[in-house]
Structure 1
Amino acid sequence: MRASALLRLPLVLLALAAAACSPRLLPGTEIKDDPDTRAIFELIRAYRDAMRQRDAAAILAMVSPDYFDNSGTPEPEDDVDRAILEKRLPQDLEKVDAMNLDLTLRNIQVQNDRAVAEVFYDSWYRVKTPAGDVARRDSDIHQFRLRKLGGKWLFAGGL
């Protein structure tokens, strides 16, 4: 072995040791991988897949019994609870002819049995209207509110 290679060996070993000690991250994120963040990550992936399939039953299975969303407004007319979501979601998804949804997880904040997950979404879809199909594309940052019930993370708002 050459002298220069011998001098670099401790640096290489130190770099490998440092990498081994760094926290594991969720794939494609800078979010620490722990049991709660991993479960939320998997829930969001399952939601994305169910939306792509337009599978209302699968989505509703991921929703907390106490789901509530005020739609970001102070007026109660647009509030959505679990019962309203159960009625509207299948109707809304029936109007969608084709869909692709990409969700990029940006952050997860967990406090006890509550969490907020921030995602960037990019969606492409066609909606059936009386005038014919209408192609749409939407992108934005969105927050899902989650609740842990019986050891399982569920959506509590933000769908």
Structure 2
Amino acid sequence: MTYLLEELKTTFADADPECIQACCKTYFETLRRKYNLSQPEKSQLRDAIKTGAKNRQRKRRLLDSRSKVVQTDAERELWQTATVELMSDEEDAIVDGRPVWIVRSPSHRNPQLSELCEELQRRLEADMRYTILHYQRVKADGNGHDGPSFLQL
């Protein structure tokens, strides 16, 4: 690694040497993690990580989309308590031959925030641009969940 560091220091003379070293370490850690996850015995862990990342991204997009349709000051004040973790889980499914998202609201979410989420979702779904780009959402049976199902291996 010393040779690599010296080459990078000469190539990027303006860069901080400690920053270059930190970048190299991060890069090699990433390569090692990718290699470890590529092993057949890690396939279940790899799938769980991939599904978890997809669900976190969906929750982040859902939070961002709903933030854009908040209208009143009271809604804005309540919405400031919303976090990515408080957004519903959306899992892929096929219902009646159509792709849909099965929606599970977190059971630990404030009831007022849940009502606001439902109202904001109605506003989103009233917009054809949103509806065209997203699968239909179907509420799951039950009163919510304690955690994402993708973590239950």
Q: Could you state the TM-score of these two structures normalised by the residue count of structure 1? A: 0.25
Q: Which has the higher helix share?
A: 2
Q: Could you state the TM-score of these two structures normalised by the residue count of structure 2? A: 0.26
